[in-house]
Amino acid sequence: RIRARGISIYRPIVYGNCAFTLTPEEKEKSDVAPDHTHRWTVAVRSAASLPNDVGGADDISHFIKRVTFKLHETYPNPNRNIDKPPFEVTETGWGEFEVMIRIVFVPESGEKPVMFYHHLKLHPWSATAGPPEPGPTQPGGQVVPTGPLGVHAWQYDEVVFNDPFQAFLTTLMNH
């Protein structure tokens, strides 16, 4: 396998979450625990796609093989492996926590996995006070509604491949 020495190639990604307060109708549903207040989605996407654009999300599957989202241990099976786009997990819950996001690249890349950490954000910034509205950290606390557009917390980043294998470079450039 031949490396393209001296070449660095990067691909832009976004990772993060959106969250919405549960409506009274949603809270009625049997799959939602009574202490849950929000529905959220944590995701890794191409930075070329808009946050809610599922159609553009598989822009990254030619170089990403798996994304593991490690959720808070209060969730059943906290290690969620996603092997095809959209690389995302949707859940309900009551609290914010740190999500560990591990990206595994396709085998032909020969690249080591990379890790990102994302603070799952549920609570909107306070419109009046300026500083972030802390919201509840315990179930049953006062919930600040997200409004119809929800809360969004996304990070832009770039995955960089140095001296990539020639075949992998070709794959990247053909997309």
Question: Which of 13, 99 has the CB closer to ligand SLL?
Answer: 99
Nearest to 18 by CA among 164, 123, 152: 152
Is residue 123 within 8 Å of 133, Cβ to Cβ?
A: yes
Question: Which of 9, 153 has the CB closer to ligand SLL?
Answer: 153
Taking the complex as a whole, how short is the minimal distance between the CB of residue 42 and ligand SLL, in angstroms? 12
Residue 63: other Cβ atoms inside 10 A: 22
Taking the complex as a whole, how short is the minimal distance between the CB of residue 75 and ligand SLL, in angstroms? 5
Q: Which phi and psi (to 5°) does residue 54 adopt?
A: -65, -30
Dist. CA 68–CA 61, nearest whole Å: 14
Taking the complex as a whole, how short is the minimal distance between the CB of residue 165 and ligand SLL, in angstroms? 41
Taking the complex as a whole, how short is the minimal distance between the CB of residue 13 and ligand SLL, in angstroms? 25
Residues lying near ligand SLL in the complex (CB under 6 A): 33, 72, 74-75, 93-97, 137
Dist. CA 134–CA 154, nearest whole Å: 18
Using the 8-state DSSP alphabet, how is residue 99 labeled? E
Dist. CA 7–CA 166, nearest whole Å: 10
Residue 123: other Cβ atoms inside 10 A: 22
Is residue 10 within 8 Å of 132, Cβ to Cβ?
A: no
Taking the complex as a whole, how short is the minimal distance between the CB of residue 68 and ligand SLL, in angstroms? 18
Question: Which of 60, 151 has the CB closer to ligand SLL?
Answer: 151
Question: Which of 33, 160 has the CB closer to ligand SLL?
Answer: 33
Question: Which of 88, 96 has the CB closer to ligand SLL?
Answer: 96
Question: Which of 34, 130 has the CB closer to ligand SLL?
Answer: 34
Taking the complex as a whole, how short is the minimal distance between the CB of residue 70 and ligand SLL, in angstroms? 13
Q: Which phi and psi (to 5°) does residue 25 adopt?
A: -65, -40
